Amino acid sequence: MFKSKTIRSGGNAKTIKGDKFGEYETAIMYLAPAAQSLLGNVCPMAATAGCEMGCLSKAGRAGMFNSIVEARIAKTRRYFRDRRQFMADLVKDIEAFVRYCQRKGVKPAVRLNGTSDIQWEVAHPCYRRIETSDPAQLNPACFLSIFHAFPEVQFYDYTKVYKRAYRKLPANYSLTLSYSEANPAYRDAVLLAALDTETNIAVVYRSKHVRDAVAGCGKVDSFGHSSGERLAREVIDGDETDMRFTDPRGVIVGLYAKGPAKKDTSGFVVG
- Cβ 36 vs Cβ 14: under 8 Å: no
CA distance linking residue 158 with residue 45, whole number of Å: 12
With cut-offs at 50, 70 and 90, classify the pLDDT of residue 261. Answer: confident
Closest by CA position to 32, among listed 84, 88, 74: 74
| Count of C-beta atoms within a 10 Å radius of residue 65 | 11
What residues have CB less than 8 Å from 130, skipping those under 6 apart? 137, 140, 141
Query: What single-letter DSSP state applies at residue 177?
Result: E
- Cβ 147 vs Cβ 224: under 8 Å: no
CA distance linking residue 74 with residue 79, whole number of Å: 9
124-169 pLDDT per residue, tens:
999 998 776 665 555 678 999 999 999 999 999 999 999 999 999 9
Sign, CA dihedral 139-144-147-148, equals negative
Query: What single-letter DSSP state applies at residue 234?
Result: B
Question: Which of 19-23, 98-102, 234-238 bottoms out in mean pLDDT, i.e. has the lowest?
Answer: 19-23
50-105 pLDDT per residue, tens:
887 656 555 445 454 688 899 999 999 999 999 999 999 999 999 999 999 999 99
More confident residue, 251 or 230: 251
Q: Domain-by-domain residue ranges, the chain?
A: 8-270
pLDDT confidence of residue 51: 80
- Cβ 138 vs Cβ 92: under 8 Å: no
More confident residue, 52 or 240: 240
Closest by CA position to 145, among listed 160, 157, 132: 157
More confident residue, 172 or 224: 172
More confident residue, 225 or 68: 68
